[in-house]
Amino acid sequence: MSYRTVFALSELEKNDFLPEPLWNQATKLLPQSTWVELPLQDDSQWEALLKKHNPEILVTAWRAKPLPKSLVGTDGFSLKYVCHLPGSVRKLIPREYIEKGVTVTNWGSSISPTISECALMLVLNALRQTNQWNFVMHHDKKWRGDVIESKSLFERRVGIHGFGAIAQSLIPLLKPFRTEVWSYSPSVPDNVFNELGVKRATSLDQLFSECGIIVELAPNTPKNYHVVTEKHLRSIPEPHVFVNVGRGAVVEEAALLRVAKEGKLRMGLDVFETEPLPENSELRGLRNVMLLPHLGGPTPDRRKDSGEYAVRNLERFLKKEPLGSLVTLDVYDRAT
Amino acid sequence: MSYRTVFALSELEKNDFLPEPLWNQATKLLPQSTWVELPLQDDSQWEALLKKHNPEILVTAWRAKPLPKSLVGTDGFSLKYVCHLPGSVRKLIPREYIEKGVTVTNWGSSISPTISECALMLVLNALRQTNQWNFVMHHDKKWRGDVIESKSLFERRVGIHGFGAIAQSLIPLLKPFRTEVWSYSPSVPDNVFNELGVKRATSLDQLFSECGIIVELAPNTPKNYHVVTEKHLRSIPEPHVFVNVGRGAVVEEAALLRVAKEGKLRMGLDVFETEPLPENSELRGLRNVMLLPHLGGPTPDRRKDSGEYAVRNLERFLKKEPLGSLVTLDVYDRAT
């Protein structure tokens, strides 16, 4: 079985997501494929191009333009499957496509480990106060005094808010530190907790007040908007670590700032309610807060994990086997 | 069997190294013990105090003053065992004490894991360019552009120079990242490499030119002085990471600075040839170099690991069993 396929990717995307031997594997699998190099000179060409190639399979990444609502369901438009290499599809694919039976997949959990790697790094940095030492060593041009407040991750209790794919892939990275892991995630069933040896917190309040190291990884659903409040942040016991590699809007950012400015909490933030973080954000300049510009993951060198995952999905599609990380209407509506 | 014992410790040292239940265990074990709280009001009291208590066992840490050469071997001076809670004993204990049969132990490898924790943190930071982002986010007050140079540790090859206790305790921390570990350490036997699944590099040149991530952990023996040269640093392949949590003098620091200033190498340095790092060191201000003020470890919260180790040693001493981490004359002469 062969399908007309369009890889709509920039050269960088092609090289990052589908480096050899993946590109070779993908094109062998799909002999009727064309690579349309993005960006196009003129955005209006996008619709014309889709009509001209009329792909049955479309492989996309960040540089692809939104699929025109008008095309789906029209006579002769053959699109059956959009294999999106990154995560978020809402800006690319109108809901109508899924309603009318177009199959959509994304990178699913294939890239989770690199984001948990960032979480681990921010936890270690918060415990060691690396951000403060960056100020002291590079800007104050000083050394340490007698008392150092460095702390270790060994044998600590870690609380994870949210227990999806990223949180789950954090567990093996924490294991050699002999940590005790708790998590709060009402939607994840008990067996997942049990298999990974993670204790289920009965409430968000309990998670924050019992775990001295909190890793924020809850999805940004309407229910989770600002669900982490000043009370939660203030309740984190010693060693007072709060790391967010999930979504900024889950935390009440004004409260986060108030607590951060007091200096007791050791924070690592990769995500913010408003991104890019405004130039005048008062988080900038705080020695107890490490800031990253939302680069949790995947690091470009691991985009190939998503490419490998996509090639397996394309193969399954050809064999009419069930696909991984299907974006169903339900998933689509819950996505952020 | 009971021995006259003096714990010569500051209150902070007592609490950090021997928190309950360790203090209780130690004093139960040694019913004839006295805690002499340091520092003394007057340094000259130290010798008088040793004469007065005439301990058979002396437990020390950083605040203890050097043991007078004149005492050892004198009639009636009963000292048999110095149980030093930290590592380095050379400033505290004259060589004559060991020559004349006083037993000396230190923390040995009991605190190695926290130093390897620091090594892992610096490697992750170098790969993600965290130090650069600290400048960008806190000082430039900017955000990232389109191209991010973040890299992941997953499936990388890591080269460790030196394969002592700290290097060995780094292996389990690296394991979940599916790294391939090489090490160069002529003195460590093959079976240690084999047991830990580490490949032996045949030369320092090979280690540096074949491993994109170098962790410097070689001891500062005369043979190792400046053994890492500009040529080695320049030969580190992609992702160009160099981390030093061992000893500064192993690396030719002028060469390190020259290479660092070019910006290609991603560095994390906890140790320096001159400590404290001079205020005008040109390493200060470099965005590709994370600097820490020699706080690799143990973090104060893990000094208890050394205390636990010491209590076991005291117990062994009472039972006349072989002690761990004996500072023999050979160890004493090789120490730095």
Percent helix / strand / coil, chain A, rounded to 5: 40, 15, 45
The CA distances from residue B40 to B11, B36, B92, in Å, are 12, 9, 16
Measured between beta carbons, the chain A residues lying within 8 angstroms of B128 are: 118, 121, 292, 295, 299
Beta-carbon pairs below 8 A across chains A and B: 159
* Residue-level pLDDT at B1: 65
Q: In chain B, what is the greatest distance between 2 CA atoms, to the nearest angstrom?
A: 76
**Closest Cβ–Cβ partner in A124, A141, A298 for B117:** A124
**pLDDT under 50 in chain A at which residues?**
none
CA distance B118 to B134: 18
* Structure tokens given for A265: 């909490």
Question: Nearest 5°: CA angle at B250, between B215 and B103?
Answer: 95
Q: Are A126 and A268 in contact (CB under 8 A)?
A: yes
Q: Are A230 and A252 in contact (CB under 8 A)?
A: yes
* Residue-level pLDDT at A336: 60
**Closest Cβ–Cβ partner in A141, A150, A291 for B300:** A150
Measured between beta carbons, the chain B residues lying within 8 angstroms of A275 are: 143
Percent of chain B's residues with pLDDT above 70: 99
A52 sits in which H/E element: helix A45-53
* Residue-level pLDDT at B336: 60
Phi, psi at B17, each rounded to 5°: -80, -35
Q: In chain A, what is the greatest distance between 2 CA atoms, to the nearest angstrom?
A: 76
Whole-model pTM: value is 0.94
User: What is the mean predicted confidence (pLDDT) over B19-30?
Assistant: 97
| ipTM for this model | 0.93
Question: Which three-class secondary structure state does DSSP give residue B38?
Answer: strand
> Which residues lie below 8 Å from residue A250, measured CB to CB, with a gap of 6+?
A161, A216, A218, A220, A224, A225, A226, A227, A228, A244
- The count of other CB atoms within 10 Å of the CB of residue B22 is 16
Asked if residue B95 has pLDDT above 90, the reply is yes
> End-to-end CA distance of chain B, in Å?
35
Q: What is the pLDDT of residues B226-281, one digit of tens each?
A: 999 999 999 999 999 999 999 999 999 999 999 999 999 999 999 999 999 999 99
Question: Nearest 5°: CA angle at A101, between A99 and A104?
Answer: 90
Q: Are B303 and B111 in contact (CB under 8 A)?
A: yes
Assess whether the previous peptide bond of B39 is cis (omega < 30° from 0).
Answer: yes
Give residue for tokens 């400033």: B91
Listed residue (B89, B45, B92, B49) closest to B69, CA to CA: B92
* Residue-level pLDDT at A75: 86
- The count of other CB atoms within 10 Å of the CB of residue A200 is 18
> What is the least distance, in Å, from the CA of B155 to any CA of chain A?
10
User: What is the mean predicted confidence (pLDDT) over B315-328?
Assistant: 96
